Chain A
C-alpha cells in the first residue's frame, strides 16, 4: 500500500457550479476560490442553500445532477485537478485519498450488510491485498474512537446509535489512509454530549493522522470549537475566510457580523441575539449583478447594486465586501491573485 503520509493542501479556483432549472442554468457556486492549508481544520459555515455542500461535493468531483461544474478547478496535492478526473481514476481517489463523512442522522450505510462486510467491499473496491490487515486497522480506529471494534464490525446499521454510526462513517473515511477528509454536517441531529464526543474525536484523529480537514456546518459553535480557520459562505460565494479566532472575534463582513450577533448566549438576555433581517437568496432569487447580500446589508451603498465585490486580503483574511475595501483596490487585488 502506498501512502502519502503528509497532509495535502487544497486549492479551489474560480469554481462555478450551475444547476439546471426550468429557468435556465443558475449558479450555486459563483467563482469560489478557497485554499485549505495542509494540516488544518477549516470550517465551512453558512445558511442552508449557501452552497456549502456543493463546494464539499466538488472536492470529490461529486456534484450531483442536475448540477455541473461549469468553470474553475479543484487542485489537491498528490492528486492534481480533481475536476478533470472521471471513471475509475476518480473512483480510486474517492475513499482512498479523499474521505467523505456524511451526516449522522441520514443513513450512509447499507442496511442489509454488516459493517464488516461493507468494510470488505471497500477494501476490495480499492484493491487492498491484505484484507485481514484492513480489518485490524478498522478495529483499531473504532477502538481509538471508544467503540468495541469487533462488535461494531459484526453489527448492522440499525443496531448502532447515531453517534456510533457517525464514528463508523469516520472510520470508513479514514481506514484507507485518506489524508483529506470532508465532514458534511458531522454533528447535525446528534445530542449535545455525542456532538462534543464526535468533535473531540475529529480533532484528535486529525492531529494524530496529520490530515487536512474540511468541516461543513451551519453551527457557529461547532466551527468555533474545532476549526483553525473559517470560511463563511453566502449566496454561492465565500464572503469571508480567515483564522477562526480572527473571524469570530472581529468579523469584517457584515454577513459574518450578522451571523455572530444572531447566536443566542447561554448567559445573557435572549433579546440580545438579533436575527438577520430578510432571508437568504435561493437559486432563483439571486441577483444577476451586484452584491448578493445587499438586500439584507446594513452597510449597503450605491456600488453594491452594480458590482459584485471580489474577495480582497485584509490582514490575515480575505473579505468580499465594498464596505471593507473601496472598489478600485479590490479590482487590483483580484488581478494579483489570478
Chain B
C-alpha cells in the first residue's frame, strides 16, 4: 500500500509542465502551454465518451441483459465507434419550424462545454512525471459544481427552443429536478470541505491520503467514503439525479415524453447532446472520486495515479449503467418529494454531524 506517496507529487500543474517542457517564454508561452494542456485533457475526456457512448454502453447493457451486443466490426466490435460517428454525423440536421434560434443551436453546445469546464480543476493524478491537473484555484471545489450546474440551463434552452410540447415538458422537468437535487448535492459536498478546511481540490485529495487504520497489514486510507459513508451515499444518489440517470432519468423519460428536451434534435446536435450527457456522467464520477474516493490514490506508485483515477471514473459509469438496467424510474413529483423532504433534510443533518465530529476531534 503506497498511501501517502502523493505527498511527493510535483507542485507544478500540467499547463506549467507543458510550458516548461516546450520552453515557451513569457505570458504568451504560458497561454499557449495552457491551451495545449487543456486540449490534451479535453481530448482524453472526449475519447472516454467516444468509447462509452457507441461501444462500452452497449456492451455493458448487453452484459446486464444476457445479450452480446456489437461484435461484428473490428475486435470486440470496437470499430462501431468510427462507424457510429460517421453514421450520426452523416444524418440530416432537421431544425423544426418555429424553433427559437439561436438558443436552439446554442443548447447542444452549452451542455458538453459546461461539463468540459468542470474538468479544469479536477486533480486527475500523475501519469509518469506528468501531473494531470489544469488549474488549482482556491475555490476549485465550488467551481466544479458551478460548471456542472450550467447543464440545466442548456436543458431548459433546448426544451423551450424546440417548439415541441414534449421538449417543453422535459425542460421543465429538468429544472424541477435540478433544483431539488443541486442543493442536497452541494450541502453534502460541504461536509467534505468541513473535513479538509479548504476548497482547493488538490488539498481535498491530499487530505484523504493518510492511513485511517490498518487491518491485518492492509492499510485503509482515510477516503471520505470510508470516513463518512453516510455522506457518500447521499452524494451518490444526488449525483445520479444531477446527471439524470435511472432512477432519475426523468427529463428524458423515453417511454413518457419521447426523449424530453432532446426530442427535436438530430444529427450533429444530437451527438453534442449525447456527448454532453456522457461527459456529465464522467464529470460526476470525477467529482465523486475527488471528494470521496481519494482522487487518484491507489496501490502502486503515485506515478500511475491517473490509472486509478480512470478506474474510479469508469466504475461510476458502470454504476450508472447498472442502475439503468435494474431500477425503475420515479415519478417527477416523487423525485421532488425525495429531494426536498428527504435528501435536503438528511444532507443538513449530515453537515451538522460532520461539523460536530470535526469540532470534537479538533478540540
Verify that A and B bind, or say they do not: no
Residues of A within 8 A of B (CB): none
